[in-house]
Amino acid sequence: MSYRNPKYIDTSVQGSFDKLQNTINANVATMAKNQKEQKEKDEAEQNRQILAGANQSQATITKNANYNTVGNQVTTGKVGNYFSSYPARAAELATELSKTPRPDNYAELQAELNSLNKAPETMKAMLENASSFLNIKDMSDFDPNQNQGAILATQVLNNKAGYTEENGFSYDFRQGEGGSIEMVFSGKGYIPPTKNNKKNTDPNDLVSFKEPYVLNSAGMQQMQDNDQDLLVSTPKMSSKVSSAIKETSVIDGAEFDDNGGFLGGGLINENILSNETTEENFGTKDKPTILNVRSVDRTKVETGLDLAIQEQIQSFINPDYGNDGQARSVWNMRIAKVADATVFNEETAALAFPELAEDKEALKAAWKKGSGTWNYSDDLSKEQIKVFKVMYKKTVVDDIMKKLNSPQYLRQRVSQSQSVGKENLNPKG
């Protein structure tokens, strides 16, 4: 009886391995496409630097071309190495399981064989998930406070310039618990690999995995099933503002582009205007035409927008369905960059912590706990959630107030004009 073709081998095992290359190829092709796109993007960036930098000589260009910063890691090769011992082990298990009487560890051996049977599909799903989770094409608006290991793994898996085996970075596969497979990233290297026409040895440019970064196939599948992200993108506040306008009647009949972006137009709802007026010149300096213009009442605008804004806030922080990863990202990359979020303001803080309004020091301490840079490892604190609610709403309302006070809506606010908008401020539908 041959190990290669034992009489009682489970033929589904060999069939699975015969099909392994086909099941992996599609995923490798997708990853190769992503890597190609990244290479083109890296080359474009290098071209921009060359055009912009007068000190970039041809010698520098040649040096970079000779030093391999792209690498040639082949995922198929790594997968092949991982599975190299599986057929022989599957045959060995099948032989043991066919013996009479049954071996004492029959159940254990059968479980191992079942695991080997499932391994190709497990690997296939893992590559699909890894390619999805770690395929971030635009890092320019990406919150750097996220998991460092995951960010580095993104660079390595997609063969970004410098993050290659030739420059000290790598990934491989190993068995995990319960039949799972683990993808292990490790290494260190200088980024960029070359500097001042020489191989980079500046210790300030040394980038490394502090410890091996591990992705588990079962863990990734659970995240995929729950529609969770390993690394989160940063929402555009302009799209959130546009959505709030579209879902309410603060500006009725406003125009939006195909992506839902606010373009202007429409009529201001008359009920958001106060009776207070200011004088505005609608003529020229030489021939002024002075008219009284009604002010936009911020309190009324907040009332009109409140439901839409609260729904957006819940989409971030609701414990049942909110994406608190994006809450952290939008805080760090959008809201916290506004001075109002980082510099203590007693009036704003009191909105978040009304119970502390009479105790300035306690109010200041609570605001400090809730603001600053948010990490991705700890649960959001009650202070963070309270500050987020106030500052998110303020950010959206501030933006819309600027739009309402812009020149395009000025004539609609002239006090003599009539019926400049509908009365209903509640969200549509």
**In a shared domain, residues 268 and 404:** yes
pTM of the model: 0.72
> For residue range 161-205, what is the model confidence (pLDDT) as tens digits?
888 888 999 999 999 988 899 999 999 999 889 988 899 999 988
Neighbours of 27 (CB within 10 A): 21
**In a shared domain, residues 215 and 266:** no
> For residue range 51-88, what is the model confidence (pLDDT) as tens digits?
222 222 323 323 333 333 333 344 667 888 888 888 88
420 located within any domain: no
**In a shared domain, residues 127 and 247:** no
**The two structure tokens encoding residue 77:** 């090769």
Give the pLDDT band (50/70/90) at residue 403: very high
Q: Which of 167, 191, 225 is the last residue of a domain?
A: 225
95 located within any domain: yes
Residues 6+ apart with CB under 8 A from 193: 67, 69, 161, 162, 167, 199, 200
pLDDT greater than 60 at residue 42: no
**In a shared domain, residues 399 and 260:** yes
4 located within any domain: no
**In a shared domain, residues 40 and 148:** yes
Give the pLDDT band (50/70/90) at residue 416: low
More confident residue, 255 or 8: 255
Neighbours of 213 (CB within 10 A): 19
289 located within any domain: yes
* pLDDT for the residue 74: 44
Burial of residue 320, with CB atoms counted within 10 A of its CB: 0-12 exposed, 13-18 middle, 19 or more buried: exposed
* pLDDT for the residue 16: 54
Q: Which domain holds residue 377?
A: 237-413
- CA angle at residue 141 from 137 to 145, to 5 degrees? 105
**In a shared domain, residues 362 and 264:** yes
38 located within any domain: yes
**In a shared domain, residues 254 and 155:** no
**In a shared domain, residues 377 and 262:** yes
49 located within any domain: yes
Q: Which of 184, 202, 225 is the last residue of a domain?
A: 225
> For residue range 245-257, what is the model confidence (pLDDT) as tens digits?
999 999 999 999 9
Report how far residue 406's alpha carbon sits from residue 404's, in angstroms, rounded to the nearest whole number: 6
Structural domains counted in the chain? 2
- CB distance 153 to 246 below 8 Å: no
**In a shared domain, residues 218 and 251:** no
**In a shared domain, residues 371 and 405:** yes
> For residue range 355-385, what is the model confidence (pLDDT) as tens digits?
999 999 999 999 999 998 899 888 999 999 9
324 located within any domain: yes
**In a shared domain, residues 213 and 279:** no
- CB distance 295 to 278 below 8 Å: yes
- CA angle at residue 137 from 309 to 119, to 5 degrees? 105
**Dihedral, 116, 121, 122, 126 alpha carbons, nearest 10:** 150
- Amino acid present at 167: N
Highest mean pLDDT among 61-70, 285-294, 306-315: 306-315
Element (H, E) at 313: helix 298-317
The three state secondary structure string of 402-417 is: HHHCCHHHCHHHECCC
**In a shared domain, residues 209 and 312:** no
Over range 124-142, report the average pLDDT.
82
Burial of residue 47, with CB atoms counted within 10 A of its CB: 0-12 exposed, 13-18 middle, 19 or more buried: exposed
Q: Which of 199, 225, 251 is the last residue of a domain?
A: 225
* pLDDT for the residue 181: 92
Phi, psi of 111 (to 5 degrees): -65, -40
429 located within any domain: no
